[in-house]
Structure formats: C-alpha cells, structure tokens
C-alpha cells in the first residue's frame, strides 16, 4: 500500500521525470556534445541535464536522513517524527530551492562566459 501511494504522489513522479530527462541529456552531452551555429562552444545538453539530475539526488539523500535519524528510526524512537508525506513535502520545497539556485548559477555562468 505504501509503495502504491508513493507512485500516486505527483511530487514523486515529477521528481523522477526530471531525473530521467536530466540523466539522458547530461549523458548525451558528455558523450556527443553536439553544437549549434549560434551557441558555439557551450555544451547545452550537459548544462541543462546536470542541474536536473543533481536536484533529485539531493532530494533522495535528505529523505533517508542523517545516520542518527536512521538509527533512531530503526530503534522505533521516531515512529511519529518523519511522517512520510509531510517529511517529503518539506524537502520537496528545500530541493526546489536548491534547484532554482543551481538554475540561476547556470544562467549566470552562460552569461559571464558570453561577456
């Protein structure tokens, strides 16, 4: 049941979609690095792909929690604390913040290189 609800959580689905597109794009950018006339010298695939990939990775790491929390969870001390959905929701927001930050960094780097 838990597994099923997880799949019906839109945030979870969107996270996976971003990850998969990120991995495919970044991988392709690393291997092939195709260029277009106007934007010569930029590996656009890699730059678009990587931030999207990183953002879900961060999400996953946070979700498992620190070793201390993991231990407490195992011991049953934290039965109430990490309410799965609330917990994910909070970190969803967090990871969005880091996502946008990375996104701005990327844009800025394109900008500065261009100048």
Task: Choose between 47 and 62: whose C-beta lies nearer to other proteins.
Answer: 47
Structure tokens at 24: 């495919």
Q: Which is nearer to other proteins, 79 or 107 (CB)?
A: 107
Q: Which residues contact 95 (CB under 8 A, 6 or more apart)?
A: 55, 56, 58, 59, 62
**Minimum distance, C-beta of residue 28 to other proteins, in the bound complex (Å):** 4
Q: Choose between 68 and 113: whose C-beta lies nearer to other proteins.
A: 113
User: Which parts of this chain interact with other proteins (CB under 8 A)?
Assistant: 7-8, 10, 13-14, 17-18, 20-21, 24-25, 28-29, 32, 34-39, 44-45, 48, 52, 107, 110-111, 114
> Which residues have a Cβ under 8 Å from the Cβ of 37 and sit 6 or more positions away?
none
Nearest to 91 by CA among 113, 69, 58, 66: 58
């Amino acid at each position: 049941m838990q597994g099923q609800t997880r799949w019906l959580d839109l945030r979870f689905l969107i996270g996976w979609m971003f990850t998969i597109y990120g991995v495919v794009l970044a991988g392709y950018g690393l291997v092939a690095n195709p260029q277009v006339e106007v934007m010569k010298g930029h590996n656009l695939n890699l730059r678009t792909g990587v931030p999207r990939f990183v953002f879900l990775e961060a999400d996953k790491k946070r979700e498992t929690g620190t070793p201390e929390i993991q231990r407490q969870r195992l011991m049953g001390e934290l039965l109430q604390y990490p309410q799965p959905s609330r917990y994910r929701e909070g970190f969803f927001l967090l990871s969005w913040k880091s996502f946008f930050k990375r996104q701005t960094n990327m844009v800025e780097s394109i900008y500065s290189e261009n100048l």
